[in-house]
Structure 1
Amino acid sequence: MRRIENLQTFLTASEVDRLVDDYRSGASVNELAERYGVHRATVSAHLTRRRVARRRPGLGVEEAAEAVKLRLGGVAMRAIARSMSVDREAVRTALVEADVDVGR
């Protein structure tokens, strides 16, 4: 017998409208997924269906500042990336832009 682990959450048209507005206002896909109780792939699918221009993947200003703070505190880039649900290169880019030694 199969077990369904998670229930699907369907968004109404007005919720998708708000999701799109929130994205355009600067919310990340991960933030929206949490806020609306859906998977981040669902958020991306809604944005694609609405033909919303996507931002360059990476860290926002606040996330980049947090990454810098964590790195200066000795946290590894891989751990920072994992905690922020981005790839290591996004963290490295933010650190380089902030002139933080990324080491090797």
Structure 2
Amino acid sequence: MVRRIENLQTFLTASEVDRLVDEYRSGATVNELAEKYGVHRATVSAHLTRRRVGRRRPGLGVEEAAEAVLLHLGGVSMRAIAQSMGVDRKAVRRALVEAQAMS
């Protein structure tokens, strides 16, 4: 019986990993890099970990968090806020929880 390969694996060269790390340090997201290099985001994360690159916590800045809180108080869903701000719903939730803890 011959096993069928579902997905082709993409291996990055050392110079591609160097560029990937530089782009991450310049502000590119893990998802952007995964798409650009044709690899899974877990692969990007693994390369960053191997290179001992400090990871950014995805989230909102102070002003963005304040805006998210105001939008949510105005009745906008966390999902809609997350989509409009380009972050995941967990980042919005974190901002709301932190704002509630401060009040």
Q: Pick the TM interval, shorter chain.
A: 0.5 to 0.7
Post-superposition offset of 1:22: 0.2
Residue 26 of structure 1 corresponds to which residue in structure 2? 27
Post-superposition offset of 1:27: 0.4
Where does structure 1 differ by over 6 angstroms across 4 or more consecutive aligned residues?
none
**Alpha-carbon separation, structure 2, partners of 1:4 and 1:11:** 19
Richer in helix (by share):
2
Post-superposition offset of 1:92: 3.2
Q: Closer, same or farther in 2 for the Cα pair 1:3/1:34, shift >3 Å?
A: same
Alignment pair present for 1:41 and 2:26: no
Whether contact under 8 Å (2:58, 2:87) holds in the other structure is: no
Aligned-residue identity in percent: 81
* Aligned-residue RMSD, C-alpha: 3.6
* Equivalent pairs, count: 92
Task: Tell me the amino acid that sits aligned with residue 28 of structure 2.
Answer: A
Post-superposition offset of 1:46: 0.2
Q: Closer, same or farther in 2 for the Cα pair 1:76/1:18, shift >3 Å?
A: same
TM-score, length-normalised on structure 2?
0.64
Which has the higher Rg, Structure 1 or Structure 2? 2
**Alpha-carbon separation, structure 2, partners of 1:47 and 1:31:** 14
Post-superposition offset of 1:32: 0.5
Q: Which runs of 5+ in 1 are unaligned?
A: 100-104
Post-superposition offset of 1:33: 0.4
TM-score, length-normalised on structure 1?
0.63
